[in-house]
Amino acid sequence: MFIDSSNYQTHAMKDWKAWRKRERERIIAERLAIASAHNQRWSTAISSLLQQGFPNLRKKKIGLYWPFRGEYDPRPAAHDFMAAGAVLALPEVVGKNKPMHFREWWPDAPMCLGAYDIPVPHETRCIQPDVLIVPMVGFDQKGYRLGYGSGYYDRTLATFSVCPMTIGVAFEMQRLENVHPQLHDIAMHYVITEMGIFQAGRELLQQIPAELCAKNNAVV
> pLDDT at residue 203 above 50?
yes
Residues 179, 140 contacting (CB under 8 angstroms): yes
Bridge partners of residue 113, in order along the sequence: 119
**Cα angle vertex 171, ends 18, 42, to 5°?**
155
DSSP strand pairing (101-105 vs 87-92): antiparallel
| Exposure string for 125-164, b = 16+ CB within 10 A, e = fewer | eebebbbbbbbbbbbbbbbbbbbeeeebbbebbeeeeeeb
Q: Per-residue pLDDT averaged across 180-201, rounded?
A: 93
Task: Locate the DSSP E strands across 60-164.
Answer: 61-63, 87-92, 101-105, 111-113, 119-121, 131-135, 138-139, 145-146
CB-based burial label for 104 (10 Å; 0-12, 13-18, 19+) = middle
Reduced to 3 states (helix: H, G, I; strand: E, B; else coil), residue 60 is coil
Q: Which of 89, 72, 178 is nearest to 127 (CA)?
A: 89
Residues 6+ apart with CB under 8 A from 98: 155
> pLDDT at residue 9 above 60?
no
Q: Per-residue pLDDT averaged across 77-82, rounded?
A: 94
Check residue 184 and give its pLDDT. 83
> pLDDT at residue 10 above 70?
no
Question: What are residue 121's phi and psi, to 5 degrees?
Answer: -60, 140
**Is the pLDDT higher at 98 or at 14?**
98
Q: What is the chain's mean pLDDT, rounded?
A: 90
Cα separation of the two ends of the chain: 21
Check residue 56 and give its pLDDT. 94
- Alpha-helical (H) ranges within the chain are 16-32, 36-53, 75-83, 152-157, 210-216
Q: Which of 156, 159, 157 is nearest to 189 (CA)?
A: 157
> pLDDT at residue 163 above 90?
no
> pLDDT at residue 219 above 70?
no
What's the topology of domain 16-216?
Rossmann fold (3.40.50)
pTM above 0.85, yes or no: yes
